[in-house]
Amino acid sequence: MEKKENHARIIFHIDMNQFFCSVACILNPKLRGKAFAIGRENTKKGVLSTASYEARKYGISSAMPTIDALKILPSLIVIHVDYSHYVEYHHKFINLISEYTKQIEVASIDECYIDVTELSKVRHPLVIAKEIQKRLLTEYDLPCSIGIAPTLYLAKMASDIKKPLGVTVIRKRDIENILYDLPVKDIFGIGKKTYPRLMENGINTIRDFMNLDNKEKILSLIGENSYNYAYQSLKGNSSNVVNPNRYAVSKSISESTTFDYHLSDIDELSYEFRKMTRSVYNKMKRENYYTKCVTITLRDSDFNTITRQESYNEYTDDFYKILGSVLTLLDENYVEKRYRLIGVGVSSLLKEDELPKEYNLFTVMNEDEKKIRIEDMMDEFKNKYGKKALFWNKDNK
């Protein structure tokens, strides 16, 4: 009898364990074993971005207001780490992975998917996974967990099962045994606001979620698209394609600021947005990038966040065009609230030598035309919000 060929892909999801805290410990080894969190130093204002395992034992978690965390644990160490250090270790992480395969899909700064199907023909995937894990730890002091599965979704689910330093394999025939008894909150893609509603209605485990007798109840709570996506993915019927370019077009540069005091005046907001836009633009120019998309973020004192963006038909490195988009988005979305965080970002970035080689003389504006356009926009803005809302900076900063 002819042996049936196995066409299943072998996908790894590599998830760095507490990446931000790990980098902080690399930079300051005295933090190891201590309860600390990443946030804003020397102030009780703001929120924590993450907390060490030692801090989590006390109930301290990401997105927790710093003042609340300090009430729980007055001795909590709160530190700030420059983002450039995270980027540095991200590159080290990805460069090491690239020694094993070029089929790498970077999902975020601390996680990626890789396809090791071809490599697994000559080396066992568990051996590969454990070697990657050991090398990241010994060479860079970066612990990670790795999920191995035939789809990206299942690999992601697998990597979450054993932390830190776990390696978990999920084959399609093992899905029920490995996943179904886990709590419903562990379903990838089920939000923090959704799973409590499911539990309140008796959907406590993944087995409950997968039980078709509960389908109508679940649909009334999360909607058909979310349900179908999670249900099919947990059956193993989701993508097994690692696409290195999936997020490449979303390459971005951004900056945000959380204020010690909340801003409500649009004059103040526009001033802060201008400074932030200049900072983002300078980073973009240092890397010789052009953009097709500009984004702003506004978060009010109740932690309600909106993100709005404007996309262009052509790539640009024009500061005034980018600033004009930022201020227009602010104008269109500003309401009288107290804002605690604002952000600016540019995305869909390409280097100059990557730009499409198409030119249209009728779309090119000279510097005078650019200034006229921005001045018109500023006049309209000032007429609406007052003469002091915007002004030209003679130093162009």
> What whole-number distance in Å separates Cα of residue 193 and Cα of residue 170?
27
Evaluate whether 255 touches 84 at the Cβ level (below 8 Å): no
> What whole-number distance in Å separates Cα of residue 48 and Cα of residue 37?
7
Active site residue 332: no
Cα end-to-end span (Å), the chain: 76
> What whole-number distance in Å separates Cα of residue 356 and Cα of residue 320?
22
* The two structure tokens encoding residue 390: 């915007």
Measured CA to CA in angstroms, residue 373 lies from 17, 64, 294, 379, 383 at distances of 49, 43, 18, 10, 16
Q: Name the H helices within the chain.
A: 19-27, 53-56, 66-72, 83-97, 125-140, 152-159, 175-179, 195-200, 206-210, 215-222, 224-234, 266-286, 319-333, 367-385
Catalytic-labelled residue, pool 2, 41, 99, 111: 111
Evaluate whether 136 touches 144 at the Cβ level (below 8 Å): yes
> What whole-number distance in Å separates Cα of residue 158 and Cα of residue 276?
39
> What whole-number distance in Å separates Cα of residue 75 and Cα of residue 372?
56
Evaluate whether 296 touches 344 at the Cβ level (below 8 Å): yes
Evaluate whether 157 touches 170 at the Cβ level (below 8 Å): yes
HSE value, Cβ hemisphere, 13 Å, CA-based, for 351: 5
Evaluate whether 20 touches 81 at the Cβ level (below 8 Å): yes
What phi and psi, each to the nearest 5 degrees, are found at residue 176? -65, -45
Residues belonging to the active site: 111
